[in-house]
Amino acid sequence: MEEYIVVFCTVPDEKTGLDIAEKLVKARLAACVNLNGGITSFYWWQDTIEKDSENLMIIKTRRELFPELEAKITSLHPYQVPEIVALPILQGHAPYLDWIREETHQ
């Protein structure tokens, strides 16, 4: 059975998110990317608590593609340390999971 994941990645603005999302889907590293705007992130950076407006990409793909997806995001992302975290999809609608498999490849 394929192992599917959802990857979260924050970006500084919608333009950056649209650019990265399009490139991930075109490269077939992701079957789908949702871009959610208007989030506020609080985090430690260089010994200071930061607060920024960001956009969140929710990326659906296969676990085996994570290394290539991570490399692609890192090459396109403006942050020095981008958030790229993957969570397993433990269960899902079988036709949707089949669609992820069909739309992604190595």
**Structural domains of the chain, with CATH:** 4-103 (3.30.70.120)
- pLDDT tens, residue by residue, 19-48: 999 999 999 999 999 999 999 999 999 999
In this predicted structure, the answer to whether residue 1 has a pLDDT above a threshold of 60 is no
Evaluate if residue 106 carries a pLDDT over 70.
no
Q: Write the DSSP string, 32-63.
A: EEEEEEEEEEEEEETTEEEEEEEEEEEEEEEG
In this structure, the strands spanning 85-88 and 48-62 are: unpaired
Residue 2 reports pLDDT greater than 90: no
Distance of alpha carbon 60 from alpha carbon 8, whole angstroms: 9
